[in-house]
Chain A
């Protein structure tokens, strides 16, 4: 009885505070139009509930950071957005995700096109065991680009965009796995950008990197702002605060990840509405 009371309470709270109006402040590059709308998203692995009733909007051109302790479902949430959850055994997603008038959860949806539009960067850089050039070329060819000149132009363009061109232009044909960790991660970002996505999902893209490489990647993410919609999961609160326009705070309650608070980044960090958020961003919990 008490539990259900608590739940209804949470839901009404969710409806009130997490569906935001147009952006009030923040960089003007952001279009206040929600590009992805998530409604009542729940995610289960077998009998275990990883996420429950998450509703939030992701705004076009903005950087949205998801913060919270390990295991509260942040990565699962990202994977639901590009349907990578299909690949995880026993994973079941319910709720609604709309992306550009597209129902992401529709079983008949062509996930290849969806994933082309919503790229993903993983915590550990995943360069393929191919050359630097081939790493970018392979997905392009898989998506039907055939003319070598066109491909070469894209390769150069995206490598310039991630600031890697000068570092690798003389060794495009050497193995990508010989690059340093930070270079590998930027290569992965370049590889995702080559497909001209609208959204980039980043799952702690800096946490496997040393501080300097991490700083370079962070600057790169900031540069993506406005041109791409970025959703980034991070454990680094200072980083979230530096780069994000919006922030969502997730927390484990009854062994289930829940969205506690979602709002503009400054508000989450400076005037959190929820006591849990306040204690987390102040480093008292989590």
Chain B
């Protein structure tokens, strides 16, 4: 009885602590950043090292970075996950080796990815400080998360579907396309969100690869400043940039939140739609 009570209290406390922490962060950002937030802020170029003006080039650069990362990482990640779950035995040495490597990669600090990206994409491949280098580096970082979640999603699809499909003379590819991937879709979407989240929130890896020029990028070979880099710069290097930093942080959080909701909604609609159409 008393133990139950204690457990209940602990659980509630933990839940309150976590949501309270989140609410604190959000209100702090809202209080300090809401004043600066306006359409002009979103559509103008930064002035005076970001103390005034807007963040249009920075949002653009962030979008390009995340897009490059996802376009490169999503197909690669999905293909790897399919290979690991459907075409290699879970206990094979190859499968285990790849999964172990992914776990290690997922926990590598982002600064290491930044140094790798700088050495490989910027210098070795000669892409220089550019959005392309940054996007590819982000792709490398997001890949382990994408693969992990896609693997979990595909593994959670019931084995019965595989067996029943095979018993009906369907190929593995057909079972994958029509049954397993749709079943795994929420997990795939969640993984994609985590990937976008990680890519969108990345700072350290980008300082070394895409740089921090705050002009509007004209192509993906231009250097560009990501939102998180902008926040970091305003908070640490620009005296009097706090309000702008808060506003930028608010934009970043809202952006991620919006992408998240849209993706979840789309997944749900797509799954419902699949029941009927071919």
* A residues apposed to B, CB below 8 Å: 82, 84, 87, 89, 111-116, 119-120, 122, 124, 126, 128-131, 134, 137-139, 141-143, 173-175, 188, 191-192, 195
Question: Is B238 in the interface zone, CB < 8 Å from A?
Answer: no
Q: Most chain-A Cβ atoms within 10 A of its Cβ — which of B89, B91, B165?
A: B165
CA distance A188 to B167 in the complex (A): 11
Contacts of A141 in B (CB 8 A): 278
Determine whether the beta carbon of A84 is less than 8 Å from that of B169: no
Given A89-B89, A115-B169, is A131 in contact with B164 using a C-beta cutoff of 8 Å?
A: no
Given A89-B89, A126-B161, A134-B276, is A82 in contact with B167 using a C-beta cutoff of 8 Å?
A: yes
The residue of chain B having its C-beta at the shortest distance from the C-beta of A173 within the complex is B276
Contacts of B71 in A (CB 8 A): none
The residue of chain B having its C-beta at the shortest distance from the C-beta of A194 within the complex is B168
CA distance A89 to B90 in the complex (A): 10
Given A139-B169, A142-B169, A142-B174, is A87 in contact with B163 using a C-beta cutoff of 8 Å?
A: yes
Given A122-B163, A122-B164, A134-B276, is A116 in contact with B169 using a C-beta cutoff of 8 Å?
A: yes
Determine whether the beta carbon of B167 is less than 8 Å from that of A129: no
Q: Write the nearest CB–CB distance from B30 to chain A, whole angstroms.
A: 41
Segment at the A interface, from B15-23, B34-42, B175-183, B221-229: B175-183
- In B134-179, the 8 Å CB interface with A consists of 158, 160-171, 174, 178-179
Q: Write the nearest CB–CB distance from B171 to chain A, whole angstroms.
A: 7
Interchain Cβ contacts under 8 Å between A and B, 27 examples: A84-B163, A84-B167, A87-B162, A87-B166, A89-B89, A89-B91, A112-B169, A114-B169, A115-B169, A116-B168, A122-B160, A122-B167, A124-B160, A126-B161, A128-B161, A128-B164, A128-B165, A131-B275, A131-B276, A134-B276, A138-B174, A138-B178, A139-B165, A141-B278, A142-B168, A142-B170, A173-B275
Q: Write the nearest CB–CB distance from B143 to chain A, whole angstroms.
A: 27
Contacts of A89 in B (CB 8 A): 89, 91
Report whether over half of chain B's contact residues are helix, strand or loop; otherwise say mixed: helix
Question: Is B93 in the interface zone, CB < 8 Å from A?
Answer: no
Given A84-B163, A129-B182, is A195 in contact with B168 using a C-beta cutoff of 8 Å?
A: yes
Determine whether the beta carbon of B275 is less than 8 Å from that of A142: no
Given A89-B89, A124-B160, A126-B160, is A139 in contact with B170 using a C-beta cutoff of 8 Å?
A: yes
Question: Is B269 in the interface zone, CB < 8 Å from A?
Answer: no
9 closest cross-chain pairs (CB), A and B: A120-B167, A115-B169, A126-B164, A116-B169, A139-B168, A112-B169, A126-B160, A142-B170, A142-B174
Determine whether the beta carbon of A119 is less than 8 Å from that of B278: no
Question: Is B274 in the interface zone, CB < 8 Å from A?
Answer: yes
Contacts of A191 in B (CB 8 A): 168
Q: Write the nearest CB–CB distance from A209 to chain B, whole angstroms.
A: 16
Q: Most chain-B Cβ atoms within 10 A of its Cβ — which of A87, A128, A131?
A: A128
Q: Given contacts A119-B168, A138-B170, could you give 15 more A-B pairs where the C-beta distance is less than 8 Å? A: A111-B169, A112-B169, A112-B171, A115-B167, A119-B167, A126-B163, A128-B165, A128-B178, A129-B182, A130-B274, A142-B168, A142-B171, A174-B275, A175-B275, A192-B168
CA distance A134 to B278 in the complex (A): 8
Q: Write the nearest CB–CB distance from B173 to chain A, whole angstroms.
A: 10
CA distance A119 to B167 in the complex (A): 6
CA distance A40 to B274 in the complex (A): 46
Q: Write the nearest CB–CB distance from B192 to chain A, whole angstroms.
A: 21
Contacts of A175 in B (CB 8 A): 275
Determine whether the beta carbon of A137 is less than 8 Å from that of B161: no
Tell which of B91, B169, B179, B276 touches A143, judged by Cβ atoms closer than 8 Å.
Answer: B169
Q: Most chain-B Cβ atoms within 10 A of its Cβ — which of A111, A112, A124?
A: A112
CA distance A191 to B168 in the complex (A): 8
Q: Most chain-A Cβ atoms within 10 A of its Cβ — which of B167, B171, B274?
A: B167
Determine whether the beta carbon of A115 is less than 8 Å from that of B166: yes
Tell which of B91, B174, B275 touches A130, judged by Cβ atoms closer than 8 Å.
Answer: B275
CA distance A163 to B67 in the complex (A): 52
Contacts of B168 in A (CB 8 A): 115-116, 119, 139, 142, 191-192, 195
Determine whether the beta carbon of A129 is less than 8 Å from that of B179: yes
Contacts of B165 in A (CB 8 A): 128, 139
Contacts of B167 in A (CB 8 A): 82, 84, 115, 119-120, 122, 192
